[in-house]
Amino acid sequence: MTKLSVNINKIATLRNSRGGNTPDLLKVACDVQTFGGQGITIHPRPDQRHIRYQDAYDLVRVVTTEYNIEGNPIPEFIDLVLKIKPTQVTLVPDAVDAITSNAGWDTVKHKDFLKEMIAEFHRNDIRTSVFVDPVLKMIEGAKNTGTDRIELYTESFAKEYEAGNKAGIDPYVKAAKLAGDLCLGVNAGHDLSLQNIAFFAQNIPSLLEVSIGHALITESLYLGLENVIQLYLQKLEN
């Protein structure tokens, strides 16, 4: 079964919009895990507009499943990850002012940089994942960085699926198969939702983990968090 890691950035966004501590980020993280979520994902950004660096430290006390920290490996991010030592670090090439992640790594162009970063995280016993587009050349490049896993950037799939084009999954199937041949684990994330997650999970070979935040939190406003977690788990069952 594919693991579900819940990105709680949007909870922090809501909290920050009013100040104070409502909703309580740590309580939500606990609830997500109580309701069956198999991991907690955060993506701190330099402006701390949602997850704050202090949140990343505070969450260590309550995350009992897998702890995945995503972000661009700028010095502040690297220091944060090395101090916390989460289960997994996912390297994402987002610009400082990016609203959300919008592209995967060019793993050929940035091979040496990624290789250096990944080696440092491995020295600290942190599993690594590299955010990539479903491009075979980039999958091969990821292998050469020494990463443990890739995370497939799924925005393109989500848009094609919404438009009724199920063939939009084909590049992801090919990318996942190549990753498997190269002994790379496969994660996925971005714009996955209750509408498309079952189709995606059923077609991607050896999908280890999905990281879902925006859609899951939005759906939870209508359906309730516990119910939404269970619905995702049901759809991810083989």
Active site residues: 43, 70, 190
* Residue type present at position 57: Y
Q: Which residue has the tokens 């490996």?
A: 73
17: which 2 tokens? 């919009």
* CA atoms of 154 and 200, how far apart (whole Å): 9
224: which 2 tokens? 């309730």
At 55, give phi and psi (nearest 5°). -60, -40
* Residue type present at position 169: I
Residue 55 makes CB contacts below 8 A (sequence gap 6+) with: 12, 25, 42, 44
| Helix 25-34 × helix 225-236 angle, to 10° | 40
- CA distances, 42 to each of 17, 46, 223 (Å): 18, 13, 23
* C-beta separation of 210 from 152 below 8 A: no
CB atoms within 10 A of CB 64: 11
